[in-house]
Amino acid sequence: MKNWMIIFALSLGFGSAFAQKLKEAEVPAVIKENFNKQFPNTKVDQWEKEGVNYEAEFHINKVENSITFNTNGVMTEMETEIQVYELPKKVSEYVEKNLAGKKIKEASRITDATGVGFYEAEIDGADYMFDDNGSFIKKITEAKEDKK
């Protein structure tokens, strides 16, 4: 049951591999208002539409972040860039065992609306998703998702 909930939560944020850039004027007011409530005095670098959701990309203390809202302005997930060494040890062990010779290019910490945390590791243009303990969940590529 827990795995099913994790996969469902991830599918909310990653249901669409393609994002459409938006001008701020194209973003509903309720979404901009909720962003400004959570991050006052923070400038959005880029707005995007992913499926039916809206994503704001921004920086806090030079760290890249993004937050996704549904059409009602409710936050669905928050993603924060982290250093590769900040990933759980199980992630690097997975990569060494299953992707020998591959390197993690980027890493991030994702928290969904319920507070459940995940990790994302970008390897060879694909995103590998891991649960809060570092156990592999799935691989996301532009064209498809591979579950293991």
pLDDT, tens digit, for every residue of 62-116?
999 999 999 999 999 999 999 999 999 999 999 999 999 999 999 999 999 999 9
Domain extent at residue 70: 2-147
pLDDT digits (tens, 9 = 90+) for 114-124: 999 999 999 99
- Indicate which CATH number applies to the domain containing 116: 3.10.450.360
Q: Which residues contact 139 (CB under 8 A, 6 or more apart)?
A: 126, 127, 128, 129, 145, 146, 147, 148
pLDDT of residue 77: 96
Q: Which residues contact 123 (CB under 8 A, 6 or more apart)?
A: 95, 99, 102, 103, 104, 105
Question: At 61, which amino acid appears?
Answer: N
Total domains, the chain: 1
pTM of the model: 0.81
User: Rounded distance, CA 44 to CA 139, Å?
Assistant: 28
As a whole number, the mean pLDDT across the chain is 88
Helix/strand/coil for 74:
coil
